Amino acid sequence: MTDIQIDAADGGTFNAYFARPASGTGPGIVVIQEIFGVNDVMRKTCDDLAKDGYFALCPDLFWRQTPGVQLTDKTEEEWAKAFELMKGFSATRGIEDLIASLDHLRGFEGCTGKVGTIGYCLGGKLAFLMATRSDADCNVSYYGVGIENSLDEANAITKPLLMHVAKKDKFSSPEAQAQIRDVLGKNICVTIHTYPGCDHAFARVGGEHYDREAAELANRRSAAFLAENLRE
């Protein structure tokens, strides 16, 4: 488990946390950060995926603003910093960095070449955009925020996309969720699971809205989805 550097499409380099499976072979997964950067939660996610036999890579998407951000959700100051970074973030540049990360991961010795993505919060929206703008083999989105604003891209989805939606998500209104279900429900590549009573970030261990039962269910569904689409 280590940090590596990746070349950006528009020049410069950015860091990414990298975890490899003990076997030295397997498919890959790009882990897409929340608004808190490549923190301990994202690093543990990579480590857990490596234990399951995947090459896992989590790129620093805030590097153009403040490289090396590692915030938590425990203080008001950190929340304020996270929202400040989010306001200055370019989704277009972020997707370019994720595509560069995808290509980099595919090139690792031992990687089978099959690579998917999994993203949370901000990363949940970006996982959706990777489904519309990249050649990732599959994508998993946890409680993505703002997806309803990019539904005009839905027809570009040709690879499997799994979405976990928190029914009581304070950052995604019932109207927005209805739009998402109405549009994406027509695409046979998209599977949407809704979690009643759950708020945003219900799968973040230790978070304010962590729901163990819902998180474990979502994670089991994700594990089966990734295995089906990356291992076969």
pLDDT tens, 157-216? 999 999 999 999 999 999 999 999 999 999 999 999 999 999 999 999 999 999 999 999
Locate 129 and state its tokens: 């955009």
Mean pLDDT, residues 128-139 taken together: 98
- What's the pLDDT score for residue 228? 97
Q: Where residue 68 falls among pLDDT bands split at 50, 70, 90? A: very high
pTM to 2 decimals? 0.97
2-230 is a CATH 3.90.870.40 domain: no
Q: Where residue 1 falls among pLDDT bands split at 50, 70, 90? A: confident
Query: In terms of Cα–Cα distance, which of 203, 184, 204 is closest to 195?
Result: 203
Is there a catalytic annotation at residue 164? Answer: no
The helix (run of H) or strand (run of E) holding residue 103 is helix 91-106
Q: Give the separation between CA 31 and CA 118, rounded to whole angstroms.
A: 5
Mean pLDDT, residues 133-161 taken together: 97
Amino acid at 90: S
Among 104, 164, 200, 209, the active-site one is 200
Q: How many helices (H) and strands (E) does the chain have?
A: 6, 8
Q: Are 21 and 50 in contact (CB under 8 A)?
A: yes
Is there a catalytic annotation at residue 52? Answer: no
pLDDT tens, 9-31? 999 999 999 999 999 999 999 99
Q: Percentage of the chain with pLDDT > 70?
A: 100
Is 84's pLDDT higher than 90?
A: yes
Among 97, 169, 199, 211, the active-site one is 169
Residue 17, strand partner residues: 3, 58
Q: Give the separation between CA 219 and CA 213, rounded to whole angstroms.
A: 10
pLDDT tens, 113-131? 999 999 999 999 999 999 9
First to last CA, the chain: 26
Query: In terms of Cα–Cα distance, which of 42, 39, 83, 91 is closest to 64?
Result: 91
- What's the pLDDT score for residue 85? 97
